[in-house]
Structure 1
């Protein structure tokens, strides 16, 4: 593995979750090997495992690197992709989800006595990619009404929420859709996250041994590489190195995608780095699946491989 490449910041807890296999176990030997590559100390890993066991999230059998952790509940949620949103992003990249010019607006007024519920609704709107226009008013370029309604119902706030759509939105003197998007969403910060993801994916592809084919499969202008045939890997990765790449790629992909409102291409700067970063990620993930001696369906692989393979493949 390329010693010169900067390591991705992967929290120890997230690493444990990422290495959960299909049978719900984590091999301690793999955990310590990957942690070492990520420059985590053995003590750091031991303390994290101890906390996870104390919280009831895992049980612990055996000692040291021969131990086995067993998840007592779903343990990959913090790094698993949201399949529906990821597929929508790739549909946008392929030009299959054009914008209809409709803005989706949500207004609510919730009394201070229900502050916790109000905050939860606000957080869900932000998670869904809506942006605040002013106090209690949020806008999205995507039709997220069903998700907002579900959250409002669960919080018993549905009667306090107003749903409306408009093809004519102006904030102050700004009314051009692309300018509105640039003023409402932190596109520069989101683009920087995707640039980091693209750099990581390119570095991983180079280490796998297929750097000569990167640009022939993924043009600088975007376009999904998940349509490519995958091919075999030409590098000599150890299993620990392959697992490390997968964890780093998943962590960086999550960091880039979570704050992304998945605005339609019509509202984004051109070229938009998200399209290219996602295409490179899909190619890299396909090569990682092919890089090891085991089948992608093997119970010995972390569940992460199936989850990402399903939505990126």
Structure 2
């Protein structure tokens, strides 16, 4: 399953690995292709990632089981592994299927309680990181909640902590209010601020870079990292001017605007190897 350390923090510029994952998601996901190292260097160089950083990121992603090498003559090509496909398909689904705003919430919550030995600091960190990735927030000590039907076994099963977890599904009843739970478990102000920052960055004339491949890459990476941090809270319990809706409309408009020229440039410049 995807892992939370594959995305940048909201305060940082996109890391080379985040940009590279987006690049492979746009140009390789769903196709039996590998892309030459030279093409990856050229594409990321358009957004000011150095050749040295690209080469070290390619090596690191191979080591992490995200890319695999294919040699063709003197050239090296890189293709997605099944793990990378899972990561990128998760991103594709969040962008194009789930949407930024949770407009049809059914009122169901998933609750996960846990108690780990105090010495298990790494396990505690891994669990909390994975819960955050899965859209959970801390309601109180040892109890995390998500306003959705989460497959906890798929999300947490490989951590080896099943004996220490208790998973429930249910609804909120009086006197507890949904708004109170949302305010307690999630930093809604910070989430809104992330969307507002996206709107400010990409509403400016000439936002991104002039190069079509580079502009598409920056736009998609920025949006994907944003929706991956978003726990997809129910819109009916958020302020009426919740900025996710406007930000998503802007992203879709800009993505469509850039798609044709980026595709032409990709066909012209990318050196690919068909695997089957």
Distance in 2 between the 1:81 and 1:201 partners?
24
Matched with 1:161 is 166
Q: Is the alpha carbon distance of 1:247 and 1:80 closer, same or farther for their aligned partners in structure 2, counting shifts above 3 Å?
A: farther
Q: Which moved more, 1:82-91 or 1:54-63?
A: 54-63
Matched with 1:24 is 33
- Partner of 2:229, secondary structure, is coil
Q: Is the alpha carbon distance of 1:109 and 1:179 closer, same or farther for their aligned partners in structure 2, counting shifts above 3 Å?
A: closer
Matched with 1:73 is 81
Aligned match for 2:15, one of 11, 36, 46: 11
Matched with 1:254 is 224
Shift of residue 256 of structure 1? Answer: 1.0
Distance in 2 between the 1:54 and 1:150 partners?
23
Tell me how many residue pairs correspond in the alignment. Answer: 251
Shift of residue 252 of structure 1? Answer: 0.9
Distance in 2 between the 1:68 and 1:98 partners?
47
Whether 2:244 is the aligned partner of 1:274: answer: yes
Q: Is the 8 A contact 2:212 2:262 kept in 1?
A: yes
Q: 1:121-144: per-residue Cα shift (whole Å, max 9, x none)?
A: 443322221211222211222222
Shift of residue 276 of structure 1? Answer: 1.1
Q: 1:256-288: per-residue Cα shift (whole Å, max 9, x none)?
A: 112211001122123111111112112222222
Distance in 1 between the 2:125 and 2:263 partners?
48
Shift of residue 247 of structure 1? Answer: 1.6
Q: Which runs of 5+ in 1 are unaligned?
A: 1-7, 209-236, 304-313
Is the strand fraction higher in 1 or 2? 2
Q: Is the 8 A contact 2:36 2:75 kept in 1?
A: yes
TM-score w.r.t. structure 1 length?
0.63
- Equivalent positions of 1:174-193 (< 5 A) are 175-193=176-194
Distance in 2 between the 1:48 and 1:202 partners?
31
Matched with 1:59 is 69
Whether 2:49 is the aligned partner of 1:40: answer: yes
Provide the alpha-carbon RMSD of the alignment.
Answer: 4.0
TM-score w.r.t. structure 2 length?
0.70
- Partner of 1:181, secondary structure, is helix
Q: Is the 8 A contact 2:70 2:78 kept in 1?
A: yes
Q: Is the 8 A contact 2:138 2:185 kept in 1?
A: yes
Matched with 2:112 is 106
Q: Is the alpha carbon distance of 1:295 and 1:46 closer, same or farther for their aligned partners in structure 2, counting shifts above 3 Å?
A: closer
- Partner of 2:222, secondary structure, is helix
Distance in 1 between the 2:173 and 2:241 partners?
26
Whether 2:99 is the aligned partner of 1:89: answer: yes
